[in-house]
Amino acid sequence: MSTIIVFGPTGKVGSLVALNVASAGHKTILAMRDPSKPIPVLESDSNSYTRVKADLSDPASVSAAVKETGAKSAFIYVPPGTRDALRDTLEALKDAGIEFVVFLSSYSINGTGQELSSIPQEEIIPYMHASVELNLKAVFGSAYVGLRAGGFATNTLAWVDGVRAGTVKLYMPKFEFDYIAEADIARVGASILTSKDRQAIPPELLVIGPRLVTQEAAVGIIAKTIGKEVKVEELSYEQGVQFAISSGIPPFVAKYLYGKLSTGEGGFTQALISEGSGNIERYTGRKAETYEDWAERNKAVFSG
């Protein structure tokens, strides 16, 4: 069995990638800024993992972690504030012995309808992920997969306080998202990392939830799941941006995201849904999880 290093194992997706890789019998390395940080979903079988100190924004630490553990495959993401689209880090991974990479990318690249190199810098999220994918191609050739995930269901955890209080504040409540489950993203990522036929997997792979659900309807699904009445209060653009900033989203990102909601640009098409949800079933052998499924698994979080 191969040795696989997972960067970001404390995250919602990274922790489940590690869980699935270890469950498949592979030696699993958890690369962390703070190796002492607890990871609840992995604590029940903590002996299956080796922790090392490493930070994707620090190529030297990445190189040391790979050389120390002998890892041959890696799961990575793009940390906030990355300035060189991970170019130095990717070269460090390659030089240290990594042969294959799965990168947690974004469906928003497809939403632009443009070639990777043509996406303008103003398109903050697709540009950032496209830049990393371009660097992956330059450094690793075809030995990588950009896992282009849709809108995370976990984003709705920002509604927890509102749900408990009985009112969720939303800008553009009729806007639709796919609400892909983090478990599905992780299962696909782990399936690719542990595959014996990775050469047959395309370097750009969409993974998207099975259907579109409006924000308002998603609140209703949560309300029904926990058996509580929850109202929706519609916010103006300005109120929405301020609400996002108060939740910890950087101002320039909040303005970008809410601007996209305003124009409807970069949204999901049925073609994207079909392709992305089909890939989940193709690479995991199970249908994509619905938002109802996700809400049921997380109802204790919302009910408090």
Residue type, 4: I
The CATH homologous superfamily of the domain defined by 3-151+180-208+269-286: NAD(P)-binding Rossmann-like Domain (3.40.50.720)
Residue 110 has a pLDDT of 83
- Taking the C-alpha atoms of residue 37 and residue 16, their distance in angstroms, rounded to an integer, is 16
CA distances from 110 to 33, 119, 192, 261 (A): 31, 10, 20, 17
**Quick check: 107 and 149 in contact, CB under 8 A?**
yes
Task: Round the average pLDDT of the chain to a whole number and report it.
Answer: 94
Region 82-104 average pLDDT: 97
Region 267-276 average pLDDT: 88
Region 199-227 average pLDDT: 97
Cβ neighbors of 297 (< 8 A, separation 6 or more) are none
- Taking the C-alpha atoms of residue 263 and residue 87, their distance in angstroms, rounded to an integer, is 33
What predicted TM-score, i.e. pTM, was given to this entire model? 0.95
Residue 111 has a pLDDT of 64
Whether 274 shows a pLDDT value over 70: the answer reads yes
Residue 127 has a pLDDT of 94
Residue 261 has a pLDDT of 87
Residue 265 has a pLDDT of 65
pLDDT digits (tens, 9 = 90+) for 112-161: 657 888 999 999 999 999 999 999 999 999 999 999 999 999 999 999 99
Residue 266 has a pLDDT of 60
For residue 171, how many C-alpha atoms fall within 13 Å in the half-sphere facing its CB?
19
pLDDT digits (tens, 9 = 90+) for 157-195: 999 999 999 999 999 999 999 999 999 999 999 999 999
Look up tokens 């450094």; give the residue: 139
For residues 68 and 1, which has the higher predicted lDDT (pLDDT)?
Answer: 68
Nearest partner of 4 among 36, 48, 43, 40, judged by Cα = 48
**Quick check: 129 and 271 in contact, CB under 8 A?**
no
For residues 46 and 141, which has the higher predicted lDDT (pLDDT)?
Answer: 141
Out of 181-185, 234-238, 254-258, least confident range: 254-258
CA distances from 91 to 199, 200, 251 (A): 21, 24, 32
Cβ neighbors of 41 (< 8 A, separation 6 or more) are 15, 16, 19
CA distances from 25 to 10, 48, 56, 155 (A): 20, 9, 25, 31
CA distances from 5 to 65, 124, 153, 284 (A): 9, 28, 25, 20
